[in-house]
Structure 1
């Protein structure tokens, strides 16, 4: 922190003034001592030389500090403004602009940054226009998508729920055979049956999320999400905390993408997180939509490959966010839950 502070523009200006002061002092002192050594004038004594240099050093140091501080203020303000502008671009706010009255290099860089923001904003509009066109094409190919989704869910049912039900059958038969001879063992096997049944039930609920309509069927995003959460609260032990702005003015494409992102996220939570609490927040500030999803589940290491299905779900959510020109950030650690933050220009 201290190292960064003393490498700032302001301290660079001050240090340059002090360095110039040092060179001036050395030069003047060398001239006065040379005159004293060669000519030895009565008015120029060693004592007067060092008294003059001491007074000059003190006064010049104060002036150097003051002028260095003042002259760097304008430069620092302009650099800070450019830094804030770049941060705004990184957050997806491409409408921000800065203007400097001076006609110098920094003004030229500021103008180039403004042009970059305009180009990025146009690219976002192009992405959203492409998303609208893609949505129209998706509706025209709805039948093919439904068939593909059914095939995928059939595979998941076979790979997960069907195998779990088969294991339940085998464990139940084994417990029945041991019920009279070894009741303690039979009790343990029945407990395993209960755990496996709960896992199969959770897996089935997650798969049922994907059987919901792809479109909101005339509902607003808020209405669709509220219905989805009410349904899940009735069928799962998870406690949901839902915060959605009352008035969200969004086009159909953004609403459908965001709704599918929420569906995919909740499906991942049901299948993999073992969470008991989920916070879901949707807000809109200025011209950006913010989506925050948090659970208190078991989490995972985002730096390593997670399970195949979890990775697929996160990849799908990221692709949907980027199709709208948005940003997707996921944060998670083992036993610390998972946080998903999405920002979409709108």
Structure 2
């Protein structure tokens, strides 16, 4: 479709050039004839070759001029379109190329000014998130401890109740096994069901007993520790990769850690997956996070976005000036792609975690 539009634009440009050239030639001939600079021939055998040659010359010149102008315009629009596509993907650091001094060039200059303001806004958002993280760190330490203790009590109480029920049912199985075999089978099935419920509760609260922020660690270190701990407790294969040349400010790392933590929690609770992959890559002037599992997937509607905590993930991505995309369907697993622009100051300064 795009190629067809490009051809149509070049064709229109050539047609306009031919029309302009023919009209201009006719005007020049008329003016020269009016002032007596052209002497008409008395016979048609001299007019016809002259006229045909002149028309062909004008058509050729007009076609070449129209093609040249249309091609230049096409190239400029292609470069501008490529830049806008990169902006749409989250690469706000992509500069608008030089497009000349015509209308398209002035449009490019205006977009360049918009791009600079956009960069400043994203940079301000990320600096603000870092400042907020630093200001909130001391105030939340006691709250984190209390929350962990509360969750630990809930986990202990819930699992203890399930274990007590399993223990009582197992005792009943021993008493009824010889007397009523069918009843004993039902009790065994009940034990299996209660065990599954206890396991689900453990998995649901497992990540929430983890630190809610990195607590002085780099993003890679915090995620590797989280993955290592989960692999020891959860029967699911978890692959984690992160490029070495990624340095982000503290606020951005905290948000990415929470987003990935939320995604892992959703997978443990809902996906019934056997494998999960987490990859953090550097793409030009942006960081791309890809989270994928081979679980059940789901229909992406308003209800799912609320129940799966997807709106919280979207809000966190917005706070650091990034974009997020969910790719999922029932029975097809889930893929999450997050793109966060990296400001110049982030790529040059390693965040200070010692304070």
Normalised TM-score (structure 1):
0.77
Task: Give yes or no for the alignment of 1:320 onto 2:316.
Answer: yes
Post-superposition Cα deviations, 1:298-320, rounded to whole Å, max 9, x if no partner, equal 0111134217541x2x2222222
Match for residue 30 of structure 1?
none
Structure 1 contact 203–270 (Cα < 8 Å) conserved: no
Q: Give the Cα separation in 1 of the matches to 2:101 and 2:324.
A: 39
Which one is further off, 186-195 or 284-293? 186-195
Q: Give the Cα separation in 2 of the matches to 1:42 and 1:170.
A: 123
* Gap change, CA 1:181 and 1:315, over 3 Å in 2: farther
Is the partner of 2:123 in helix, strand or coil? helix
Q: Give the Cα separation in 1 of the matches to 2:229 and 2:270.
A: 19
Q: Unmatched 5+ residue regions in structure 1?
A: 25-40
Structure 1 contact 277–296 (Cα < 8 Å) conserved: yes
* Gap change, CA 1:99 and 1:232, over 3 Å in 2: closer
Per the TM alignment, residue 282 of structure 1 is displaced from its structure 2 partner at its CA by: 0.9
Match for residue 284 of structure 1?
282
Length, aligned pairs only: 327
Match for residue 242 of structure 1?
240
Per the TM alignment, residue 12 of structure 1 is displaced from its structure 2 partner at its CA by: 3.1
Task: Give yes or no for the alignment of 1:272 onto 2:278.
Answer: no
Q: 1:203 aligns with which of 179, 201, 204?
A: 201
Per the TM alignment, residue 223 of structure 1 is displaced from its structure 2 partner at its CA by: 1.9
Q: Give the Cα separation in 2 of the matches to 1:146 and 1:231.
A: 20
Structure 2 contact 18–60 (Cα < 8 Å) conserved: no
Q: Give the Cα separation in 2 of the matches to 1:225 and 1:7.
A: 51
Structure 2 contact 275–294 (Cα < 8 Å) conserved: yes
Per the TM alignment, residue 174 of structure 1 is displaced from its structure 2 partner at its CA by: 8.3
Match for residue 139 of structure 2?
141
Greater RCO, CA 8 A, separation 6+:
2
Q: Give the Cα separation in 1 of the matches to 2:15 and 2:198.
A: 69
Match for residue 84 of structure 1?
82
Q: Give the Cα separation in 1 of the matches to 2:175 and 2:7.
A: 78
Match for residue 33 of structure 1?
none
Q: Give the Cα separation in 1 of the matches to 2:186 and 2:325.
A: 43
Structure 2 contact 291–336 (Cα < 8 Å) conserved: yes
Is the partner of 2:238 in helix, strand or coil? strand
Post-superposition Cα deviations, 1:209-228, rounded to whole Å, max 9, x if no partner, equal 11112333443222221121
Q: Give the Cα separation in 2 of the matches to 1:178 and 1:17.
A: 98
Match for residue 331 of structure 1?
327
Task: Give yes or no for the alignment of 1:213 onto 2:214.
Answer: no
* Gap change, CA 1:287 and 1:149, over 3 Å in 2: farther
Post-superposition Cα deviations, 1:97-149, rounded to whole Å, max 9, x if no partner, equal 23546322112111110000000001011111211221123213212455467
Match for residue 255 of structure 1?
253
Task: Give yes or no for the alignment of 1:297 onto 2:295.
Answer: yes
* Gap change, CA 1:94 and 1:74, over 3 Å in 2: same
Match for residue 28 of structure 2?
none
What is the root-mean-square deviation in Å for CA atoms of aligned residues? 4.0
* Gap change, CA 1:317 and 1:62, over 3 Å in 2: same
Q: Give the Cα separation in 2 of the matches to 1:23 and 1:320.
A: 62
Is the partner of 1:210 in helix, strand or coil? helix
Structure 2 contact 151–205 (Cα < 8 Å) conserved: no
Match for residue 350 of structure 2?
none
Is the partner of 2:304 in helix, strand or coil? coil
Is the partner of 1:336 in helix, strand or coil? coil
Q: Unmatched 5+ residue regions in structure 2?
A: 25-40, 343-355
Map 1:102-251; keep pairs closer than 5 Å: 102-142=100-140, 143-144=142-143, 146-147=145-146, 179-180=177-178, 183-184=181-182, 186-187=184-185, 190-191=188-189, 193-251=191-249
Post-superposition Cα deviations, 1:26-65, rounded to whole Å, max 9, x if no partner, equal xxxxxxxxxxxxxxx99559xx97x999988877766655
